[in-house]
Amino acid sequence: MLQVVSGMYSGGERRLMIKVLPCLFLKVTEEAGNISEQNKKKDASQAPTPVITFPGSRVNSTGGLRRQKRDWVIPPINVAENSRGPFPQMLVSIRSDQDQDISIRYSITGVGADQPPNEVFSIDPMLGKMFVTKPLDREHRSSYHLRAHAVDMNGNQVENPIDLYIFVIDMNDNRPEFKNQVYNGSVDEGSKPGTYVMHLSAFDADDNTTANGMVRYRILSQTPHSPIPNMFTINSETGDIMTVAPGLDREKVSQYTIIVQATDMEGNLNFGLSNTATAIITVTDINDNPPMLTSRTFSGEVPENTVDVAVANLTVIDADQPHSPNWNAIYRIISGDPTGHFTIRTDPVSNDGMVTVVKPVDFEMNRAFMLTVVVSNQAHLASGIQSSLQSTAGVTISVKDVNEPPYFPTNPKQIRFEEGVPTGTSLTTFSASDPDRLQMQQIIRYSKLNDPANWLSINRTSGQIVTTGMLDRESVYVKNNIYEATFLATDNGSPEASGTGTLQIYLIDINDNPPALVPRESQICERMNKNVNGVNITAADADTDPNAGPFVFELPNFPSSIRRNWTIARISGDYARLALRYQVYLEPGMYEVPIIVSDSGNPPLSNRSVIKVKVCPCDDNGDCTTLGAVAAAGLGTGAIIFILICIIILLCMVLLFVVWIKRREKERQTKQLLIDPEDDVRDNILKYDEEGGGEEDQDYDLSQLQQPDSLEHIISKTPGVRRVDERPIIPESQYPIRPVVPHPGDIGDFIHEGLRAADNDPTAPPYDSLLVFDYEGSGSTAGSVSSLNSSSTGDQDYDYLNDWGPRFKKLADMYGGGDDD
């Protein structure tokens, strides 16, 4: 059972029942009066709180459940927006009819409760009182849908959830807003009343189904007030601006500024909120002003024979918008110029008309022109506007006489002559005329301006042209049989004027060029074979038909060997074949064959030409072989063989020279010195002065200076004859290794022992052999190492060398001779 008790009805009980669905109901019971009485005891001024009771089931008399019939729904809860509180503000009280039996906990769910925006609504879980916690904004959200729940202390559902609909009541809290602060529109001048101009619209965020959101428009002001203060009106509901009066004239007022006000509450100025916007209305131009010329007559002067010259300037006035199609002027000549000598061009800046000469005028033909000119606009005149009489004017153009140059009536002038006419031949008279017939008689003088080949001359007074050279059709100055020359005619006017004329001479060909043989060189095989053998020849003639081909080719009678060895066979009118006669053999070489060529002129011209024919041995394909080409160059077989032998000899000499160079290099590398380079005395002497910082810093191997352990390998060597200038090929003597730091007192014994070992070695020549000094060259500045004394004191006795045999005889003669040495 649902009970709603409201304090709004203090005079008694009101029962409101709205049937929507069969499952819910709404009833105001007498409990409202009881609640109201209780509330009056607390606060006499406070109205009773509405109570919403869960619909539920009743227990019947037998102990079972009996479901009651549910036919009513709970009405929505209306809450005004922008309430000033205080908050939280109680809306309704929700209760279950089972709260007398058990403890009930109440809750609400939905947008505004437990869903964003959260905590807009709250409920007392024990008492079931629902509150709104903050001011609501209908423009942000206009309604809320919540569900109320009732559970026991264990969380078990006691009642079915009920739906609560909360609607936010709109308040007039938003002004109308224009999309733009300034609106631009336009209207043609001369528009009739009721012509649409532009549209303005304002938006009100309040509910447009109520007066809060119903906007109305009105015009507050118009600037300027010409011709009347109220030229425009606005539809109060749609915002369309229209004209209400005639008299729009752009030339007087080109723009209007209108202030438009938008007010809600259906335009109620006492309760509604307002806003304003500016409408700028531009009066657009129409062609309602025809152009008018500033004068009825204009004049100008033009020299004859000039073009692209402005001779008169026409000025015009037009009140329409400058530089628009309604203002731009177009000028036309309607009479006085049948041959089209003049045109009128419009100045794009000033709109003036410039009368310009486009075709030269002749003073002798027309001394003056009387033109009729009419002016109009690019755009047509507006409806009802007539053309002005000032749109038409007359223009007088005077022609000024000037000295015109003479002219050649026929230019270019063409004549025909045969080439080769003799010098001094008169070709023609090329005369000019003076167009200035109204001036005093003038004298014309002629001169030559351009004569590429210098073949012509012209009489200064009469213009007669005479040849000064031979006309030649084959000259490089003649193109397509035509020779051109340019002449100048000058009068004696003030100032002088001159004109040019061109003379074209068509030269008729005569037979003045003999034919020339082509080609001038060729080759041919020395023997005829079954294939075609010969040289195709033709002729070139600078003349043209009928003075050129067909040609006649002949061999001369002298010398007789020409006809005996060669023959010419005609192929066509322009070609023939030169070949060796059958079974005629010629040595390979170059042969000059004279041939007489004649053309078909009348009379014909002949030319004796020589063709150089190279006769050479050929292969199976008829091509000259390499040897044959050399032979044909003019060398005989003997000369060719001699050249080949010389080439072979030269190659052999080069080869021998290279072999000799290689051999000398090899000998130089393999030749042995008298002694081993490691024991070369010269090298040892050069190193005497190179003293190091100490014995530990020296890299010299001093083991060769140490005394060997024994000389048995020397004493036991078998005697034999050996070269004394060659070191014996025996294993090197092994000497004991010198201590790292030798005792300074044994150096004398070391030298003596080494000297004794060298003296007692019969298998090797002494290292101070004379041959070593011969290797150094005669006159050496180095002292002889033989001057070294073998003992510390006294002279050395070399007589014992005589006892050593013939091998030491030379040494004994050198040192054993006593004073004779």
Q: Are residues 492 and 442 in the same domain?
A: yes
Calculate ∠ Cα 624-630-631, nearest 5°: 90
Cα separation, 470 vs 103, whole angstroms: 147
Q: For residue 456, which of 413, 490, 497 has the smallest C-alpha distance?
A: 413
Q: For residue 582, which of 566, 561, 570 has the smallest C-alpha distance?
A: 566
Scan for tokens 């066509």, then name that residue. Answer: 572
Q: Cβ(514)–Cβ(552) under 8 Å? A: no
Q: Given 141, 171, 201, which residue is the final one in a domain?
A: 171
Q: Cβ(51)–Cβ(7) under 8 Å? A: no
For residue 587, the model assigns a pLDDT of 81
**Looking at residue 390, what DSSP letter applies?**
G
Q: Given 171, 205, 230, which residue is the final one in a domain?
A: 171
Residue 46 banded pLDDT, cuts 50, 70, 90:
very low
For residue 105, the model assigns a pLDDT of 94
Residue 215, in any domain of the structure: yes
Residue 721, in any domain of the structure: no
- DSSP per-residue codes, 149-201: EEE-TTS-EEEEEEEEEEEEEP-S----EES-SEEEEEEETTPPTT-EEEE--
Tell me if residue 815 falls in helix, strand or coil. helix
Q: How much is the average pLDDT of 700-728?
A: 51
pLDDT, tens digit (0-9, with 9 covering 90-100), for 427-453: 999 998 888 776 667 788 999 999 999
**Looking at residue 27, what DSSP letter applies?**
B
Q: Are residues 335 and 383 in the same domain?
A: yes
pLDDT, tens digit (0-9, with 9 covering 90-100), for 183-236: 999 999 999 999 999 999 999 999 989 999 999 999 999 999 999 999 999 999
Encode burial over 347-386: b for 16+ CB neighbours within 10 A, e otherwise. eeeebbbbbbbeeebebeeeeebebebbbbbeeebbeeee
Contacts of 498 (CB under 8 A, 6+ apart): 405, 406, 488, 489, 490, 491
CA 390 to chain centroid, in Å, comes to 59
Residue 57, in any domain of the structure: no
With 70 as the cut, is the pLDDT of residue 31 above it? Answer: no
Contacts of 664 (CB under 8 A, 6+ apart): none
Higher-pLDDT residue of 786, 511: 511
Residue 762 banded pLDDT, cuts 50, 70, 90:
low
Cα separation, 225 vs 256, whole angstroms: 9
Residue 773, in any domain of the structure: no
Q: How much is the average pLDDT of 624-629?
A: 65
How many Cα atoms sit within 13 Å of 471 on the Cβ side?
Answer: 31
Tell me if residue 819 falls in helix, strand or coil. helix
Q: Are residues 304 and 384 in the same domain?
A: yes
With 70 as the cut, is the pLDDT of residue 40 above it? Answer: no
3-state SS, 95-111, equals ECCCCCCCCCEEEEEEE
Residue 592, in any domain of the structure: yes
Cα separation, 96 vs 679, whole angstroms: 137
Q: Are residues 154 and 88 in the same domain?
A: yes
CATH assignment of the domain containing 95: 2.60.40.60
Residue 33 banded pLDDT, cuts 50, 70, 90:
very low
With 80 as the cut, is the pLDDT of residue 59 above it? Answer: no
Q: For residue 71, which of 26, 131, 25, 102 has the smallest C-alpha distance?
A: 25
Q: Given 453, 477, 508, which residue is the final one in a domain?
A: 508
Residue 814, in any domain of the structure: no
- DSSP per-residue codes, 453-514: T--EEE-TTT-EEEESS---TTSTT-BTTEEEEEEEEE---SS--EEEEEEEEEEEP-S-S-
Which structural domain range is residue 377 located in? Answer: 292-400
Q: Cβ(306)–Cβ(360) under 8 Å? A: yes
Give 487's strand partners: 448, 501
pLDDT, tens digit (0-9, with 9 covering 90-100), for 536-561: 888 888 888 888 878 888 888 888 88
Q: Are residues 195 and 265 in the same domain?
A: yes
Residue 321, in any domain of the structure: yes
Q: Are residues 252 and 279 in the same domain?
A: yes
With 90 as the cut, is the pLDDT of residue 47 above it? Answer: no
Q: Are residues 332 and 245 in the same domain?
A: no
**Looking at residue 794, what DSSP letter applies?**
S
- DSSP per-residue codes, 571-586: -SSSEEEEEEPTT---
pLDDT, tens digit (0-9, with 9 covering 90-100), for 603-620: 888 888 898 988 888 877
pLDDT, tens digit (0-9, with 9 covering 90-100), for 227-283: 999 999 999 999 999 999 999 999 999 999 999 999 999 999 999 999 999 999 999
Q: Which of 12-26, 326-340, 685-699, 747-761 has the lowest mean pLDDT?
A: 12-26
pLDDT, tens digit (0-9, with 9 covering 90-100), for 302-328: 998 889 999 999 999 999 999 999 999
Scan for tokens 């007489």, then name that residue. Answer: 596
Q: What is the CA radius of gyration of the chain?
A: 71
Q: Quick one: tokens of 210?
A: 């109520």
Q: Are residues 316 and 238 in the same domain?
A: no
Q: Quick one: tokens of 304?
A: 């004859």
For residue 723, the model assigns a pLDDT of 45
Cα separation, 214 vs 202, whole angstroms: 10
For residue 322, the model assigns a pLDDT of 93
For residue 679, the model assigns a pLDDT of 52
Q: Are residues 225 and 252 in the same domain?
A: yes
Residue 512 banded pLDDT, cuts 50, 70, 90:
confident
How many domains does the structure of the chain reveal? Answer: 5
Q: What is the chain's mean pLDDT, rounded?
A: 79
Q: Are residues 146 and 128 in the same domain?
A: yes
- DSSP per-residue codes, 426-449: EEEE---B-S--SSPP---EEEEE
Q: Which of 144-148, 227-231, 358-362, 580-584 has the lowest mean pLDDT?
A: 580-584
Residue 666, in any domain of the structure: no
For residue 694, the model assigns a pLDDT of 52
Q: Cβ(427)–Cβ(466) under 8 Å? A: yes
Q: Are residues 262 and 192 in the same domain?
A: yes
For residue 467, the model assigns a pLDDT of 93
Q: How much is the average pLDDT of 526-535?
A: 65
Residue 171 banded pLDDT, cuts 50, 70, 90:
very high
Cα separation, 108 vs 150, whole angstroms: 9
Scan for tokens 């209306």, then name that residue. Answer: 78
Q: Are residues 540 and 609 in the same domain?
A: yes
pLDDT, tens digit (0-9, with 9 covering 90-100), for 62-91: 444 444 444 345 788 999 999 988 999 999
